[in-house]
Amino acid sequence: MHRRLVFEDPVSRAAVWSRRLAWFALVVLLLSLLLVRLREPSIEGLAPVAGAYVFVLLALGLALVAFVRIWREGHRGVGMAAGALLLCLVLLAPAGYVGFLLATRPALADISTDIDDPPAFSRSMAALTARAGRIPPDVAPARRRLQRQAYPKIAPIVLEEPAEAAFALARKAVTALGWQVVDVARPGGRSGAGRIDAVARGRLLRFSEDITIRVKPRVDGSRIDIRSASRLGSHDLGANARRIAAFAEEIDLLQER
């Protein structure tokens, strides 16, 4: 009785290492994001995240090499290479979305519903302490006009309620959105305007953004203006505009209740 030997094609080493490297990249990326959340936010602090994506790209390249070798030489390992490729694409999706926002959104980091007379940030001790002594700088009129072109729906909130009622609505909206109130001035005084200063933090990286809300009385009610400014970088990826839109939507919801 003769025993027949069966020779199997070798497994592609590129496929094996692409899978290993893809999972290693996932671990490095998760650890780097955790590190960014725990440290003081800074542009330089994003370096570990960028480093993690180097491993993602290497794993992606190995997966593509594995597919080529499997096709040409008949090696095994299609499943490993496909799994690595899928994982790399999932990890690259957030970076791709950020790239899309960089390409489609203007390089703005300070958005206001009033581009002619933006609300001023409080300079009280409590507000300065919460902002680590930072006062968002004034934005040139040309940059404000760029905002109008990019976000035409960002506009003042005009209410029929008196300033006191509008101020109460704004305060409730800030609380509902989870922003940290750092300074408050009720409507009245020489200008008649009220003010709420707050700090909002991102859900993932916990970057802090500064917000000031101005409530002014009008003959037929009141007007609310809000300004949101990023602390880091010159491009907010549209975050400040989205934050202002969320505030306006919350005001609408509170009025309907």
Domain range for 38 is: 13-104
Q: What is the pLDDT of residue 156?
A: 95
CATH of the domain at 122: 3.30.530.50
133 lies in some domain: yes
Report residue 3's pLDDT band, with 50, 70 and 90 as the boundaries. low
Q: What is the pLDDT of residue 20?
A: 92
Rounded average pLDDT over 100-110:
89
Report residue 5's pLDDT band, with 50, 70 and 90 as the boundaries. very low
| 175 plus 199 within the same structural domain | yes
Rounded average pLDDT over 131-159:
87
| 64 plus 184 within the same structural domain | no
pLDDT at 189 over 80: no
| 205 plus 233 within the same structural domain | yes
| 221 plus 153 within the same structural domain | yes
| 242 plus 122 within the same structural domain | yes
pLDDT at 31 over 80: yes
Report residue 41's pLDDT band, with 50, 70 and 90 as the boundaries. low
Mean pLDDT for the chain overall: 87
Residue 182 phi, psi (nearest 5): -115, -15
| 79 plus 26 within the same structural domain | yes
- Of the candidate ranges 38-42, 216-220, 227-231, the one whose mean pLDDT is the lowest: 38-42
1 lies in some domain: no
Among 78, 104, 130, the domain boundary falls at: 104
Would the pTM of this model clear 0.85, i.e. be above it?
no
159 lies in some domain: yes
How many domains would you assign to the chain? 2
Report residue 12's pLDDT band, with 50, 70 and 90 as the boundaries. confident
| 135 plus 53 within the same structural domain | no
**Other Cβ atoms within 10 Å of 140 Cβ, number:** 9
174 lies in some domain: yes
CA 79 vs. chain centroid, Å, equals: 35
Per-residue exposure over 163-188, b if at least 16 CB sit within 10 Å of its own CB, e if not: bebbbebbbebbeeeebebbbbbebe
Among 52, 70, 104, the domain boundary falls at: 104
| 161 plus 247 within the same structural domain | yes
